[in-house]
């Protein structure tokens, strides 16, 4: 481990001297450790020109992989130490729009209650299975139907989709029927929900041939902005447009439709006793989720 740490520091600084200062070693000690690693691998990791050093192609690749591995070791060590204090860190994957529009505005309350915990939030667009989406995260907030083998999950709310429009772009919205909407307006969609409008048409017994598909968006946040701008009509989770509805920049048309999915906090069973996750899970489940 000592030679790996010495190499990683030298590679990051491109300097044996700066690496030595960071590691509280002498410059010659760092140089010897790097040379020992090169001898062990049988590969030159640095080009040396006088006192200057520069990573070789092999060295750059090795640094990239090694830095990530050492980072995981550091994180695992800190999490293990945190068991004695109840604090620590949490790596949380979350749907981008849910994270920015619902979770982040409430995180100050969590930090007020748990000042010794740091939550690192990672945005994930989840097209694949939960294990792939979660990756090396400690927990994930996902929209789905569960259950997921190997994961513990807590349902936060049932997802309801609502048709939204800009009142400025659609002043006649109060008198509209589902058939009016289908016949004359561009319907925007999120690429991860290719069947949302089809399900809505079926619910209202509308002919799918009437559907006027508009632009598609990878992020629900972008679709919401497009609806506000008057580009078309959206069908989105109501929990994600509550601010716009209260502000009057969006209006809802017709009754909400349950999507068959829910929002869940999920995590691999090996993390269930992680103090930071236990605190976050308790806090999240205590929040007053609306009947959306």
pLDDT of residue 67: 85
pLDDT of residue 292: 47
Where do we find the tokens 């640094």? 63
β-strand partners of 46: 55
Arithmetic mean of pLDDT over the chain: 87
- What SS3 class is residue 160? strand
How far is residue 1's CA from residue 67's CA, in Å, rounded to a whole number? Answer: 13
pLDDT of residue 119: 92
How far is residue 108's CA from residue 115's CA, in Å, rounded to a whole number? Answer: 10
pLDDT of residue 141: 92
**Tens of pLDDT along 247-274?**
999 999 989 998 888 999 999 888 888 8
Query: Could you give the domains of the chain?
Result: 2-82 (1.10.10.10), 88-158+262-286 (3.40.190.10), 159-260 (3.40.190.10)
Q: Nearest to residue 51, comparing CAs of 87, 20, 95, 82?
A: 20
pTM for this model (two decimals): 0.70
Within 8 A by CB and 6+ apart from 55, the residues are: 11, 14, 45, 46, 47, 63
Per-residue DSSP letter, 191: T
Q: Other CB atoms closer than 10 Å to residue 275's CB: what's the count?
A: 19
Query: Which residues, given as ranges, of the chain have pLDDT below 70?
Result: 78-79, 81-87, 126-129, 290-292
Q: Nearest to residue 132, comparing CAs of 156, 152, 148?
A: 148
Q: Other CB atoms closer than 10 Å to residue 185's CB: what's the count?
A: 17
**Tens of pLDDT along 126-156?**
665 677 777 778 899 988 887 888 889 999 9
């Amino acid at each position: 481990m000592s030679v790996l740490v010495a190499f990683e520091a030298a590679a990051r600084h491109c300097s044996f001297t700066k690496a030595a200062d960071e590691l509280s070693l002498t410059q010659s000690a760092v140089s010897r450790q790097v040379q020992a690693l090169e001898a062990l691998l049988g590969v030159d990791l640095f080009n040396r020109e006088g006192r200057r050093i520069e990573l070789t192609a092999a060295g750059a690749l090795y640094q990239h992989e090694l830095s990530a591995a050492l980072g995981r070791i550091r994180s695992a060590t800190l999490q293990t130490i945190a068991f004695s204090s109840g604090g620590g860190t949490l790596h949380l994957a979350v749907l981008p729009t849910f994270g920015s529009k619902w979770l982040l505005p409430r995180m100050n309350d969590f930090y007020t209650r748990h000042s010794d915990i740091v939550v690192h939030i990672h945005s994930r667009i989840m097209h694949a299975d939960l294990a792939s989406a979660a990756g090396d995260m400690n927990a994930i907030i996902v929209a789905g139907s569960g259950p997921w083998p190997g994961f513990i999950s807590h349902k936060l709310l049932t997802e309801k989709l609502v048709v939204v429009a800009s009142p400025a772009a659609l002043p006649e919205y109060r008198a509209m029927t589902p058939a009016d909407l289908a016949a004359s307006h561009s319907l925007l969609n999120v690429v991860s929900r290719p069947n949302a409008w089809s399900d809505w048409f079926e619910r209202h017994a509308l002919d799918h041939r009437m559907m006027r598909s508009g632009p598609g968006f990878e992020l629900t946040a972008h679709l919401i902005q497009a609806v506000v701008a008057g580009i078309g009509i959206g069908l989105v989770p109501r929990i994600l447009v509550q601010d716009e509805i209260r502000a009057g920049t969006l209006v809802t048309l017709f009754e909400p439709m349950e999507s068959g999915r829910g929002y869940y906090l999920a995590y691999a069973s090996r993390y269930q006793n992680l103090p930071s996750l236990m605190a976050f899970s308790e806090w999240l489940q205590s929040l007053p989720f609306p009947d959306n």
